[in-house]
């Protein structure tokens, strides 16, 4: 081993005479440590530094800092000037980075700091250079940043609207798809309440949903109208989930939205097309329904022409004409209401009234096929929110399906009542027929678009599919039970409105 300087020899003798616990700790600490005197010579080097630098103790102790580190490191870090500044001011240097390559090894990245060490009189006697190997941490940090950049790119490239909210519902992030669909820039919405972008009718529901999500953390879904910057109202389907910290506390909410405006427009067109197809199928029965009051009107008018002088007969004929005209007008008005495009989902709908109006269109046609209709409509049912026009189409499609299943006649029961699945107020409407039934292998497919067992040209296979879609849009459900040869029962459940709604 090389000979040490006098100062170092004196410290070694002193340590041998009175072992220094702090110096022993520094010698074994898992970070690199050098102690330098005022002439920037190394007076102490711990084991970690010697191992990492691949140097012997004699190659370091007593050497100037410029002999220990390569010139490129000293130039990049200004290490010598920083050491002199610590001696001059007595202030520590809080930290910087250096890259050090030991002979035969890959470059390592160190975080370093300079700390003044004072003597008993408070003067700076030496300076400690502390070096912590942060190569793996920095590499991990780079990988983390790379993943973050990748995730940010995914979010920005997504076609779906992706937003994040704080626990109070204020917007934190807003991706480019949200900007493209709603026309608001992130600067215009970040920090604002997300609910303010929703239509007034959907805003209370959204606020309740977000509050529940922040409290319980369960995934929540909603389809609601949102106002774009240009004033257009768009229908957006949202799915919200909770972002949790390690302790499980909800710290943010993430929403993924999809613009349903165009999709819903196409659905309404399809519904309208299917509706007109149903009208075509009912044309014969409707014509008969209108022909009856017209025949009564014609007969009464002929009697008036022949025997109009009789006051009593004239009164009776006038009443028959008036009644028949009202009947024909009611049929035509119901027909027009059913045929016109569906309104928005904003009505308070009386389900029993919708059923009666639907039967007014097809009741006669069904009775001509020797089908007995039994109505069990519970009185004073609560209303549902939705479109009466669309619900009529649901009932029409189900009734026509039963009509085709009972080609030889039968018994058809329509029943409405209150139901309370999951402790919520619901209305249940059951349609039970005694028709041919549905084969078990077809039960899982009857709501699929274009699935039909009818001969070519006799059905589109859209009736029950559209009924299923409409019921879902009303927040309800539809299910089927059937036994081959014994009939089928379709049950529609719709959420009921409370008295205050």
pLDDT tens per residue across span 122-150: 888 999 999 888 877 776 666 666 765 66
pLDDT average, residue stretch 348-365: 85
If asked whether residues 178 and 228 sit together in one domain, one would say: yes
If asked whether residues 101 and 185 sit together in one domain, one would say: no
Q: Is residue 92 part of a domain?
A: yes
Bridge partners, 477 (sequence order): 493
* Domain end residue (candidates: 230, 259, 288): 259
The string of pLDDT tens digits covering residues 282-322 is 565 566 667 777 888 888 888 888 776 778 888 888 888 88
Strands (E), 90-247: 93-100, 108-118, 124-133, 161-166, 171-174, 220-227, 233-244
The predicted structure's pLDDT at residue 13: 30
Q: How confident is the model at residue 440 (pLDDT cuts 50, 70, 90)?
A: confident
If asked whether residues 246 and 155 sit together in one domain, one would say: yes
The predicted structure's pLDDT at residue 491: 93
Beta carbons of 45 and 65 less than 8 angstroms apart:
no
The predicted structure's pLDDT at residue 267: 66
Beta carbons of 131 and 30 less than 8 angstroms apart:
no
Beta carbons of 249 and 279 less than 8 angstroms apart:
no
Contact residues for 282 (Cβ-Cβ < 8 A; gap 6+): 361, 362, 365, 400
Of 84-98, 315-329, 449-463, minimum mean pLDDT range: 449-463
Distance CA 7, CA 34 (A): 15
pLDDT value at 408 more than 80? yes
Number of H helices, E strands in the chain: 15, 17
Distance CA 120, CA 193 (A): 61
Bridge partners, 36 (sequence order): 42, 127
**Residue range(s) defining the domain that contains residue 311:** 264-495
Which residue would you say has higher pLDDT here, 5 or 322? 322
pLDDT value at 330 more than 90? no
| Number of domains within the chain | 3
Bridge partners, 483 (sequence order): 487
Distance CA 449, CA 466 (A): 8
Q: How confident is the model at residue 19 (pLDDT cuts 50, 70, 90)?
A: very low
Query: Residue 422 has what DSSP assignment?
Result: G
The predicted structure's pLDDT at residue 281: 58
Strands (E), 137-244: 161-166, 171-174, 220-227, 233-244
Of 176-190, 250-264, 435-449, minimum mean pLDDT range: 435-449
Which residue would you say has higher pLDDT here, 445 or 31? 31
Element of type H or E holding 139: helix 135-157
pLDDT-above-90 percentage for the chain: 19
* Domain end residue (candidates: 109, 136, 163): 136
The predicted structure's pLDDT at residue 6: 36
Closest CA to 241 of 251, 253, 249: 253
Beta carbons of 108 and 123 less than 8 angstroms apart:
no
pLDDT value at 277 more than 80? no
The predicted structure's pLDDT at residue 419: 83
CATH classification at residue 187: 3.30.450.20
If asked whether residues 294 and 436 sit together in one domain, one would say: yes
The predicted structure's pLDDT at residue 243: 85
If asked whether residues 366 and 382 sit together in one domain, one would say: yes
Determine if the pTM surpasses 0.75.
no
* Domain end residue (candidates: 259, 292, 320): 259
Classify residue 284 as left (phi > 0), alpha (psi -120 to 50) or beta. alpha
The predicted structure's pLDDT at residue 297: 84
């Amino acid at each position: 081993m090389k000979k040490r300087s006098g100062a170092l020899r004196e410290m070694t003798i002193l340590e041998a005479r009175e072992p220094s616990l702090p110096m022993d700790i520094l010698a074994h600490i898992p970070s690199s440590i050098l102690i330098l005197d005022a002439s920037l010579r190394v007076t102490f080097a711990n084991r970690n530094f010697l191992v990492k630098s691949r140097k012997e103790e004699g190659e370091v102790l007593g050497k100037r800092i410029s002999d220990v580190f390569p010139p490129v490191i000293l130039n990049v870090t200004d290490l010598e000037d920083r050491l002199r500044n610590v001696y001059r001011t007595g202030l520590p240097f809080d930290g910087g980075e250096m890259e050090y390559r030991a002979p035969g090894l890959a470059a390592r990245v160190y975080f370093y700091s300079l700390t003044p060490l004072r003597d008993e009189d408070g003067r700076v006697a030496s300076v400690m250079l502390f070096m912590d190997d942060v190569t793996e941490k920095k590499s991990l940090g780079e990988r983390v940043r790379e993943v973050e950049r990748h995730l940010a790119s995914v979010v920005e490239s997504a076609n779906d609207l992706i937003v994040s909210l704080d626990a109070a519902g204020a917007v934190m992030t807003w991706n480019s798809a949200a900007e493209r669909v709603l026309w608001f820039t992130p600067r215009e919405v970040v920090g604002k309440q997300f609910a303010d972008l929703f239509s007034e009718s959907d805003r209370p529901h959204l606020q309740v949903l977000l509050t529940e999500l922040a409290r319980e953390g369960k995934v929540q879904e909603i389809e609601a109208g949102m106002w774009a910057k240009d004033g257009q109202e768009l229908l957006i389907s949202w799915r919200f989930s909770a972002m949790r910290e390690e302790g499980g506390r909800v710290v943010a909410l993430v929403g993924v939205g999809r613009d349903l405006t165009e999709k819903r427009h196409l659905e309404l067109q399809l519904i309208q097309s299917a509706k007109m197809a149903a009208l075509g199928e009912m044309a014969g029965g409707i014509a008969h329904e209108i022909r009856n009051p017209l025949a009564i009107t014609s007969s009464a008018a002929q009697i008036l022409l022949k025997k109009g002088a009789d006051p009593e007969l004239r009164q009776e004929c006038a009443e028959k004409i008036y009644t028949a005209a009202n009947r024909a007008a009611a049929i035509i008005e119901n027909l027009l209401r059913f045929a016109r495009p569906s309104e928005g989902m904003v009505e308070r709908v009386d389900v029993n009234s919708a059923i009666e109006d639907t039967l007014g269109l097809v009741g006669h046609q069904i009775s001509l096929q020797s089908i007995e209709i039994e109505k069990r409509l519970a009185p004073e049912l609560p209303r549902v929110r939705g479109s009466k026009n669309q619900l009529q189409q649901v009932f029409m499609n189900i009734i026509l399906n039963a009509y085709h299943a009972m080609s030889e006649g039968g018994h058809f029961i329509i029943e409405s009542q209150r139901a309370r699945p999951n402790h919520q107020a619901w209305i249940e409407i059951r349609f039970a027929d005694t028709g041919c039934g549905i084969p078990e292998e077809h039960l899982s497919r009857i709501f699929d678009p274009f699935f039909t067992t009818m001969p070519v040209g006799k059905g589109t296979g859209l009736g029950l599919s559209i009924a299923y879609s409409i019921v879902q849009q009303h927040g309800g459900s539809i299910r089927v039970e059937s036994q081959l040869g014994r009939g089928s029962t379709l049950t529609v459940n719709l959420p009921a409105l409370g008295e205050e709604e």
